[in-house]
Chain A
Amino acid sequence: MSWLDVCDAEDIDLEDVIRFDHGDRTFAVYRSADGAVFATDGLCTHEQVHLCGGLVIDNTIECPKHNGRFNYQTGAALRAPVYDALATYPARLNNGRIEIEVIKSSNSKNNNGPPL
């Protein structure tokens, strides 16, 4: 069983993100405006800054260091200086608790970067 218990859903505000560390890995766990939950790698692909200090706007997370943006639902890099996509992980609500599955991740390969 690879689902990990993160926290109560209520522990994350709507349109917000928290940091979740597991072993030597760090994740960012999100709740969107409609209460859906998502998970990505915790560090920005640009300079390894924790995304939990960033701003969730609609379906994007803006990195606190240089304001690069990702779609936290797909991992796509949307705005320079981020260029490489962010790995995403399955997340779900289970009896009011948020769980993430950290073994499976999306491919975090370069997605050709943000537009001009």
Chain B
Amino acid sequence: MSAKVTNPRDYNLAGPENQNAVDAGLASADWYHSDIPRKVMKELMKRSDALATRDTLLWVALIVISAIGAIAFWGTLQVIPFLIVYGVLYGSASDSRWHECGHGTAFRTTWKNDLVYHVASFMIMRNPISWRWAHARHHTDTIIVGRDPEIALMRPTAIAKTALLFIGVPGIFQDLQVLIRHGAGRVSNAEKDYIPESEKKKTTFWARVHIMIYATTVLVAIIMQSFLPVVLIGGPRIYGVWHAVMTGLLQHGGLAEDVLDHRLNSRTVYLNPVSRWIYWNMNYHVEHHMFPMVPYFALPRLHALIKDDLPAPSHSIFAAYSELLSSIWRQRLERDYYIRKDLPPTAKPYREDLHTLDIARSDIRISTP
């Protein structure tokens, strides 16, 4: 039997798939949620400054110590371990801090969330305004083609390009391009779909702030005749981003598109404690998407409460990548293929109502090669 191949999907938010998704009832739709009594949910949603402050002070302290080490040993081989640690703390841990503080769930105190959000946005080279709106859309229309601006692995996956993400290319160049575009006051057509007109000025303002910091860093590097300033500021977007990419691709990669049940399009993975700290527990990704009000430190508790309603988690990064890579490989020929995990007998069935729409939609042709 020959493999089934569909035309590549158009993931552009400014393209026709956007309206298709709206017409199909996939945009701003009601999603499946596991049942949790209100009293329990209120406990889980509770905010605390204590844990996030502890974690943030530790994060900052480790960044400062590793930066001091990198400066002290600059020009020698001993600099390498310091840069490895500094790079991950700057280039990867900033991603999870950006994310959690963007939701406003890390700290109880608003200004603390906002401060860490802005610092982390700078570190991960994201515009704090445009990405806030992009992420809101990602939560509204998770992995809905033509609607979600954060789909990392599109079908069929460009495998070499995806591998390069681990060393920050072409990501850093794209990020700098976007930064300059925003600094010039321009948002793309796709961005216009989710950034309100009234937020444009703020997008430009923060892009200019970031550009000024990078320009100053480059100037200092020129004056010092040393790469050290750019290695410390901006550089980790290349050599330290691998952990964020490694965990980030697992969030939804290889799973279903165009469904309204996070159990079908998101992945929970059990991680080692160090990676969980770097990633601030976002490995509980199904849980996070179902209940974005629950802070990172309560996600393990939430997981324990609803795991009987979810597919079994991947038991390691290795196990998750095994299934992800085999799925990507298969999608080269079968673009409708996705990993569909069995639910435990205790779980409510998957929401199937909109689930097969991707092959029913008129813009997608099914052909036999």
Contact = CB atoms under 8 A, between A and B. Distances in A.
Nearest to B140: A47
B292 A81 contact: no
Contacts of A46: 136
B332 interface: no
The main secondary structure of chain B at its interface with chain A is helix
A55 B42 contact: yes
Which of B133, B199, B205, B293 counts the most chain A CB atoms within 10 A? B293
Interface stretch (A28-36, A61-69, A96-104): A61-69
A16 interface: yes
Interface string B261-299: 000000000000000000000000000000111000000
Give the most central of A48, A78, A80: most B CB within 10 Å.
Answer: A80
B216 to A, nearest CB: 21
A104 to B, nearest CB: 28
Nearest to B105: A67
Contacts of A57: 47, 108
A79 interface: yes
Contact of A116 (B28, B103, B140, B205): B205
Given A47-B28, A116-B205, A80 B105 contact: no
B140 A66 contact: yes
Which size class do A's interface residues fall under? 20 to 34
B335 to A, nearest CB: 30
Contact of B133 (A55, A79, A81, A116): A81
Contacts of A16: 42
A83 interface: yes
B210 interface: no
Contact of A79 (B45, B110, B140, B291): B110
A113 interface: yes
Nearest to B201: A116
Interface string A44-82: 001110000111010000101111010000000011110
24 contacts: A13-B42, A16-B42, A47-B140, A53-B41, A55-B42, A55-B45, A55-B293, A57-B47, A62-B104, A65-B140, A67-B103, A67-B104, A67-B105, A67-B292, A67-B293, A79-B110, A80-B136, A81-B132, A81-B133, A81-B136, A83-B198, A113-B199, A116-B202, A116-B206
Given A47-B140, A80-B199, 4 more contacts: A55-B45, A66-B139, A116-B202, A116-B206
The 6 closest A-B pairs by CB, nearest first: A81-B136, A66-B136, A55-B45, A67-B104, A67-B103, A64-B293
